[in-house]
Amino acid sequence: MTLDELLEHLAVHDVRLTGTGDVLHYDAPAAASGPELVAALRSYKGELLRWLTAPADEREVTRAPLSAQQERVMEVAARSAHPASWNVGLRMELVGELDVAALDAALDGLVARHHALRARLARDGGAWTQRILAHRSVPLPIVELTALAPDAARRRAEVVCQELVATAFTPAHDAPVRYALIRLAPGESWLVLVLHHVACDGRAVTVLLRELAVGYRTARDHGSPDFGPPAATQCTDYARWQQGQWDESTRRRRLAYWAEHLGDGPLALELPFDRPAPRQPSGQAATCRFEIPRPVRSAVEALARDRGVTVTAVTAAALALLFARLSGQPDITLSMPYANRSPQAYEDTVTVLATALPVRIRTGAAATFAQLVGQAADGLFAGIDNLLPTAWIYQQLATAGRDAAGRDAAPAGMTVSFAFQSTFDTRIDLPDLTVQVHEVPAGVGRTALIIALVPGPDGIDGYLEYPVDRIADGTARRWMAGYVDLLATACGGAHHPLADLRGSLV
């Protein structure tokens, strides 16, 4: 075992080291202790003691390249006028008897458990590198508002929450996670959790919330968190594994698929905006929330069963039809995130593994909505079969002269990102507490329309994030109401001629 391998082993298994003079002490979970660990610590005792004397913020335990997904986020975020648009913010409203010490210990344990939460990302000689620093405990920040009147406390809490979410990370120097507890009143608190998208996707957030519940419960009952076995895989493991996944022949074959699939169709939309594009966009974004009610959800699921496809394909086809009618463009390309949690070893890895697939839906080539659904399903499955880093696909288009904005640039103009978040589950069960979890938008956008659907207990919750420079609130609400209406109409008449399907916008 090399020193680097030992340091990574210590980080993965949460083995804590301290040094006093020339004496090295260690504290390890029972499952990580054993003769091999003791022998390695003895072998590298001098190096470890010197390592412990380095500043805590510079104690590196391992480093690795970035995965293609991490690199894509970093490249696009670096070009963004508002890097905070890549923040993922959650507000957990906690009502009941909160054990603050247990919550502090559980959050600290999550940071110790996952490399992605201790990573520093920067260019090293032109290539992106992630440095994983040793864990260093930081007390849970607490914002005390209990002395204020209830209404004033809530207003101040909203401000603090928004400031936490809207503050950009500097990935070269900051850990990609921050959190704080806001105490509004006795028995009422908010836990605000903010992650940089380079460290998470929807599935990773679900894993973190699940583990937070386990850590809180065990810390509350036993004084320290117990998450069970160490995390099976880390962001560094995935990045190293990914390096050998595409040989040159596979890469050429899959790029040829994307060239044929996207063809000469438009990647951006010309929508009936309320306002022309400003010379200097503000980057400000707003969120329109809507719901697909239970009867419409049932109709969507029935059509999906009848056609042997996923609900994602049905909802994507309806969205493509909506934007085709709004824009007058018969071909619509949706950027559709794919969870990409394969192979199974990486199912619960905390990092960003989701990959955006540009799926072209040709509304003019379908006679019925059922055919359009089949086309969307075929495009999704073929995209998964020909999975490549999104940057490579856009780089090929740039090389072919389709987009001169940069080597891995996204299409110029307004694009549409559509996510059916079936792996995103924000439910969390904490003893003696009622918990409600809300996503908190940063208030700045990514120069795209972002539409997400999240299955709820009854219907499907949805939101549209849109740029306020171009689109008015009333227009956003009208578009999404039209989408729900068109989805219901299309599922009810899936085998009728497509031109006969009417919605509230036409």
Quick one: pLDDT band at residue 163, thresholds 50, 70, 90?
A: very high
Domain termination site, one of 28, 53, 78? 53
pLDDT in tens, 220-241: 999 999 999 999 999 999 999 9
Q: How many helices (H) and strands (E) does the chain have?
A: 14, 16
pLDDT at 56: 65
pLDDT in tens, 88-108: 999 999 999 999 999 999 999
Cα 501 from Cα 23, distance rounded (Å): 78
Clarify whether residues 45 and 77 are in a common domain: no
Q: Mean pLDDT over all residues of the chain? A: 90
Query: In this predicted structure, what is the pLDDT of residue 406?
Result: 42
Residues 17 and 95 in one domain: no
Q: What percent of the chain has pLDDT over 90?
A: 68
DSSP track, 431-471: TTEEEEEEE---SB--SEEEEEEEE-SSSEEEEEEEETTT-
349 and 431, same domain (yes or no):
yes
Secondary structure percentages of the chain, helix, strand, coil, to 5:
45, 25, 35
Q: CATH code at 301? A: 3.30.559.30
Say yes or no: 89 and 203 in one domain.
Answer: yes
Sorting pLDDT into bands at 50, 70 and 90, what band is 57?
low
pLDDT at 67 over 70: yes
Place of tokens 């990959």: 355
pLDDT of residue 1: 73
pLDDT of amino acid 154: 97
Query: 282 phi and psi, to 5 degrees?
Result: -75, -25
- 353 Cβ contact partners less than 8 Å away, ≥ 6 residues apart: 67, 69, 201, 203, 204, 238, 339, 340, 341, 346
Same domain, 159 and 13: no
Asked if residue 306 is part of any domain, the answer here is: yes
Is residue 506 in a domain?
A: no
Note whether 334 and 361 are within 8 A (CB).
yes
Give the CATH number of the domain where residue 178 resides. 3.30.559.10
Is 447's pLDDT higher than 80?
Answer: no
Q: Are residues 38 and 98 in the same domain?
A: no
Q: In what order do the strands lie in the sheet with 127-133?
A: 60-65, 127-133, 119-124
pTM: 0.87
Q: What are the tens digits of pLDDT across the range 481-494?
A: 999 999 999 999 98
Question: Looking at residue 402, what is its pLDDT?
Answer: 52
**For the sheet containing 87-96, what is the strand order?**
142-144, 177-185, 188-196, 87-96, 433-439
314 and 225 in a common domain: no
**Radius of gyration of the CA atoms of the chain, in A:** 24
Other C-beta atoms lying within 10 Å of the C-beta of residue 248:
7
Domain encompassing residue 188: 63-238
Indicate the residue among 238, 266, 296 that finishes a domain.
238
Please give the pLDDT value at position 12. 73
pLDDT at residue 112 in the model: 93
- Rounded to whole angstroms, the Cα distance separating 440 from 158 reads 10
pLDDT at 503: 61
E-strand stretches of 199-293:
285-292
Q: Is the pLDDT of residue 217 over 60?
A: yes
Residue 279: inside a domain, yes or no?
no
- pLDDT more than 70, % of the chain: 95
* Residues 180, 112 share a domain: yes
Domain count, the chain: 3
Q: Both 22 and 154 in a single domain?
A: no
Q: Is residue 186 part of a domain?
A: yes
Q: Are residues 375 and 410 in the same domain?
A: yes
Give, for 240, the enclosing helix (H) or strand (E).
helix 235-242
Render pLDDT for 390-444 as a digit per residue (tens, 0 to 9): 888 988 876 655 544 443 445 555 689 999 988 788 999 999 999 999 999 998 8
Domain boundary among 11, 28, 53: 53
- DSSP 8-state assignment for residue 187: T
Provide the sign of the torsion angle of the four alpha carbons 228, 229, 232, 235, taken in this order.
positive
Kindly state the average pLDDT of the residues 167-190. Answer: 96
